[in-house]
């Protein structure tokens, strides 16, 4: 049979018989590539490799006849991974984990499989040899006879081994290295990623076996492959953080069985990934003497309150155009706050270079740290150190007002737990707040000028 060729969009997976400059589905330009496609009746052959008795014929049912049952979850030995998954691993679920190279995706799931003694696990690697994985397992320092390693990229071979071993958990490392014998294209292409993910999804749903898929990301940070890959899986997790720092954030982007507000925090050590149960203790730096340009913010990441150290530096611009550099914070948001200080406060930041850093290499999107960033900038501008026992909470508006934030009670409780003496919060959050329930002094502020008079006068 003559080989068939088609053009696929690298962004969304749209298939076209001829090349086009703009994708009609997602609107991206110059994203079509030509691939050879030769489909056979191989899907039925692949699905025949697992248990026939687990298959169910598709029949329509009345919604009233369906019994609603809670998903059966299996608790993983990693508490942070359990948190991001919504309480555990759901049977028959497909989990996609993506992140930068070397950030710790393979290490996390290998050590989790090693510590899960009672679970028969199959670890499929298409990137490393069995000896390389064994060396990493020895570094983790754990043994497990129920963990089986398979170095293969052909999906037919993988399903044959699955039929022999009958694992209770399957880990694929990674989806971009797999290839289906029924698609004539290179591994990692749109058609191969889509077909291999579809075969793994059918296996997970028909047998009730959870499957965790490790994926790559592109240079702009998005998950490599077609966008339909994220729609096919049940849960999407993404590792964030600079690999030059020790701390990593595992963030939930999609979860059909739980909340997408959860996140896990890890520390990369020589023995693998270590979960951080109290991130505030490790993110706050202990200084021997007060330093200017440092402020403490009570932030909320996911559902977890944590204390964040904000570092700012404002120096006289040497060149004509002042620099604006951020690490872990949105640059446009910093420019907005500088404009507020310039217009409402009369501080001349237009002639100064401004550098902002979130300690620990974390990326914070919570707008409630605006007040801490403003105070850190003013501290560096005035070269006056802020008290280390005061933390700040509040979103700064364009007119210099301090706007209310959500979940203020959890922020105050976290600040009191970390030994802070006082916390500055928006006055709008004081309604219905009983200050006697917290062992910390609560100060109220309406405008940035009020905070400036309180801290620098």
Known binding-site positions for ATP: 99-106
E strand residue ranges, 230-334: 235-240, 247-255, 263-269, 272-275, 294-301, 304-316, 324-327
Burial of 17 (0-12, 13-18, 19+ CB in 10 A): exposed
Q: Is the dihedral of CA 199, 205, 208, 214 positive or negative?
A: positive
Q: Is 149 helix (H, G, I), strand (E, B) or coil?
A: strand
Report the half-sphere exposure of 270 (CA within 13 A, side-chain side).
0
Determine contact, residues 76/89, Cβ cutoff 8 Å: yes
Q: Which two tokens stand for residue 7?
A: 């053009």
Residue 104 CA to residue 264 CA, distance in Å, equals 13
Closest CA to 386 of 302, 312, 281: 312
60: buried, middle or exposed (CB in 10 Å: 19+, 13-18, 0-12)? exposed
Which residue do the tokens 């022999």 mark? 164
Q: What are phi and psi of 201, to 5 degrees?
A: -65, -45
Determine if the peptide bond prior to 174 is cis (ω within 30°): yes
> Measured between alpha carbons, how far is 73 from 71 in angstroms, rounded to an integer?
6
**Residue positions forming the annotated binding site:** 99-106
User: Which three-class secondary structure state does DSSP give residue 153?
Assistant: coil
Element (H, E) at 148: strand 147-151
Strands 73-74 and 89-90: antiparallel
Describe the crossing of helices 448-456 and 370-382 by its angle, rounded to 10 degrees: 50
């Amino acid at each position: 049979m003559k080989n068939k060729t088609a053009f696929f969009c690298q962004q969304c997976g749209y298939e076209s018989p001829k090349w086009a400059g703009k994708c009609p589905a997602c609107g991206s330009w110059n994203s079509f590539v030509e691939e050879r496609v030769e489909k056979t009746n191989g899907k039925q052959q692949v699905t025949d490799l697992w248990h026939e008795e687990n298959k169910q014929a598709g029949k329509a049912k009345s919604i009233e006849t369906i019994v609603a049952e809670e998903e059966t979850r299996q608790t993983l030995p990693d508490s942070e991974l359990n948190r991001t998954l919504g309480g555990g691993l759901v049977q028959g679920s497909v989990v996609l984990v993506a992140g930068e190279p070397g950030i710790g995706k393979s290490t996390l799931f290998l050590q989790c499989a090693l510590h899960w003694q009672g679970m028969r696990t199959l670890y499929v690697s298409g990137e490393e040899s069995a000896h390389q994985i064994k060396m990493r397992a020895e570094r983790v320092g754990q043994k497990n006879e129920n963990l089986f390693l398979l170095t293969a990229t052909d999906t037919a071979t993988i399903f044959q081994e699955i039929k022999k071993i009958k694992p209770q958990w399957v880990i694929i490392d990674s989806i971009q290295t797999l290839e289906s014998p029924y698609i004539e294209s290179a591994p990692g292409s749109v058609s191969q990623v889509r077909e291999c993910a579809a075969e793994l999804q059918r296996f997970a749903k028909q047998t009730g076996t959870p499957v965790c898929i490790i994926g790559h990301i592109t240079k702009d940070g998005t998950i490599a492959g077609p966008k339909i890959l994220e729609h096919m899986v049940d849960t999407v997790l993404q590792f964030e953080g600079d690999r030059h720092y020790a701390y990593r954030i595992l963030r939930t982007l999609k979860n059909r069985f739980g909340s997408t507000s959860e996140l896990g925090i890890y520390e990369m050590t020589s023995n693998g990934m270590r979960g951080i149960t109290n991130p505030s203790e490790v993110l706050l730096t202990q200084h021997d003497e007060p330093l200017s340009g440092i402020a403490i913010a009570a932030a909320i990441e996911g559902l977890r309150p944590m204390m964040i150290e904000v570092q700012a530096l404002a120096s006289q611009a040497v060149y004509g155009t002042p620099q604006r550099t951020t690490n872990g914070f949105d640059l446009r948001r910093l420019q907005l706050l500088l404009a507020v200080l310039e217009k409402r406060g009369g501080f001349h930041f237009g002639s100064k270079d401004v550098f902002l850093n979130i300690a620990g290499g974390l990326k914070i999107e919570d707008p409630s740290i605006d007040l801490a960033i403003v105070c850190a900038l003013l501290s560096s501008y005035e070269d006056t150190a802020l008290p280390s026992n005061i933390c700040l909470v509040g979103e700064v508006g364009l007119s210099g007002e301090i706007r209310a934030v959500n979940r203020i009670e959890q922020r105050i409780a976290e600040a009191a737990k970390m030994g802070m003496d006082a916390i500055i919060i928006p006055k709008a959050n004081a309604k219905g707040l009983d200050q006697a329930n917290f062992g910390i002094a609560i100060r109220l502020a309406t405008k940035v000028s009020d905070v400036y008079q309180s801290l620098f006068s």
